[in-house]
Amino acid sequence: MNESALVRALATPAQSPGGGIGRGAEPPSEVWVIAETARGELHEGSLEAACEARGVAQALRARLAAVLLGVNGSTSVAGLAAHGVDRIYWLEDPALAGYHPEVFAAALVPLIVTHRPSAIFLADTPNGQDLAARLAARLKARLVSRCSRVQVKSDGLLEMERPVYGGRFGQTLVAPSGTLILVTLLRGAIGLDRPDPSRQAELIHLTPVLEGLASHLRVLGEHRMDPQAIPLSEAEVIVAGGKGVGSRERWQMIEALAGALGGAVAGSRMAVDAGWIARERMVGQTGVAVKPRVYVAAGISGASQHLAGMKESKTIIAINQDRRAPIFTVANLGVVGDLGRILPPLVERLREFARPEGA
């Protein structure tokens, strides 16, 4: 199909049979990942989604395809190909340069209706959640959000696992056959496979038809969030303090370390009870369950209720003056000592690293 024919096809979405857009008895031909980018950079969650989707595509003997939206995507193309994507539909239009729910949905819905993938994966980011819900509603498709694992059962049905009640329970869901299923994948749940830079993907450039779109939303600007205010479930680096910090004044050491690392601040129950940090930033069994790349626990003993919320973090760094503190049983790196003597010089060194040379 040449490009103008495809653009026409995109402009006139076909009605899906039975409300969903599955292929019924036909074998599925594609599993999709909708790639999320910001300022030309591919979100790592999209690569994780591609890794998980690749296993699903292989089990279904389907092609793994990704959809890229926007104008600045060359590095994303290489990244997706290196992580196993066979084909990339690149919807190029300046209107898709930044995330806009209605414009993205308007560009994607006709493409999905035309190609009828059997499953669509998105990273479980705020934009991914928003877009997935919008697409599911528009396509009358099923959506399972916050998945930690997706696999194909022996009978060919998709099985999804997701944590519920802050990670204290797991839920397994099975999707019925013949209908489109959208899945959002939790960050860090799957991890990245080793990329193969020699892999290439078939690249299909498309121009979506977006003129005349009656949008009710206008994006006025984008703001980088203060990393310390980022929801803990999304933070890549978390610096958590406990009772061992000692006082509200000394709590500034925790905030300074988080600032130097570009991380979010969290606390133990004791830190919350002392009034040093808000209740919604408490990590643990009754707090938030987190799984960042780096979790620094300073002055936290490592009670089981705290460990329940953070022990899945990729790298745990514990600072405690008691070498027998249980936090060291889960730490990848342990520093025994007084945090009042360790944190200030550490922050100073980190700031030195961040300073441009000669400044």
Ligand X SMILES: Cc1cc2nc3c(=O)[nH]c(=O)nc-3n(C[C@H](O)[C@H](O)[C@H](O)COP(=O)(O)OP(=O)(O)OC[C@H]3O[C@@H](n4cnc5c(N)ncnc54)[C@H](O)[C@@H]3O)c2cc1C
Which residues bind to ligand X, rule: CB under 6 A?
242-244, 268-271, 282-287, 299-301, 303, 305-306, 309, 319-322, 325, 338-340
CB of residue 294 to ligand X, shortest distance in Å: 18
- What angle, rounded to 10 degrees, do the helices at 339-354 and 248-261 form? 30
Q: Is the dihedral of CA 141, 144, 145, 149 positive or negative?
A: negative
Q: Which is nearer to ligand X, 96 or 277 (CB)?
A: 277
Residue 119 · residue 181 · CB < 8 Å: yes
Tell me the backbone φ, ψ of residue 135, rounded to 5 degrees: -65, -45
- C-alpha distances (whole Å) from 320 to each of 160, 200, 288, 300 are 39, 48, 22, 7
Which amino acid type is present at position 77? V
How many other C-beta atoms are found inside a 10 Å radius of the C-beta of residue 162?
Answer: 22
Identify which of residues 167 and 340 has a Cβ nearer to ligand X in the complex. Answer: 340
Cβ–Cβ under 8 Å, residues 73 and 161: no
| Least Cβ distance, residue 278 to ligand X (angstroms) | 13
Cβ proximity to ligand X: between 135 and 254 the closer is: 254
Query: Which residue, 122 or 240, is less far from ligand X as judged by CB?
Result: 240
CB of 336 to ligand X, least distance (A): 8
Return the C-alpha torsion angle 295, 301, 303, 308, nearest 10. 0
CB closer to ligand X, 252 vs 285: 285
Strand segments, DSSP code E, in 140-188 are 142-147, 149-152, 158-164, 169-174, 181-185
Comparison of 54 and 306: residue with beta carbon closer to ligand X: 306
Strand partners, 170: 163
Spatial CB neighbours of 308, under 8 Å, sequence gap ≥ 6: 167, 168, 284, 285, 289
Provide the minimum distance between the beta carbon of 197 and ligand X in the complex, in angstroms, as a whole number. Answer: 42
Q: Of 232, 253, 240, 249, whose CA–CA distance to 339 is shortest? A: 253
How many Å apart are CA 79 and CA 128, to the nearest integer?
A: 19
Q: Are the C-beta atoms of residues 174 and 215 closer than 8 Å to each other?
A: no
Q: Which is nearer to ligand X, 45 or 287 (CB)?
A: 287
Write down the least CB distance from residue 227 to ligand X, Å.
Answer: 21
Closest distance to ligand X from the beta carbon of 340 (Å):
5
Nearer to ligand X, 259 or 309 (CB): 309
Minimum CB separation of residue 271 from ligand X in Å reads 6
Residue 338 Cβ vs ligand X, minimum distance, rounded to whole Å: 4
The backbone region for 71, taken as left when phi is positive above 0, alpha when psi lies in -120 to 50, beta otherwise, is alpha
Burial class (CB in 10 A: 0-12, 13-18, 19+), 359: exposed
Which C-beta is closer to ligand X: that of 81 or that of 271? Answer: 271
The least CB distance from residue 275 to ligand X, in Å, is: 13
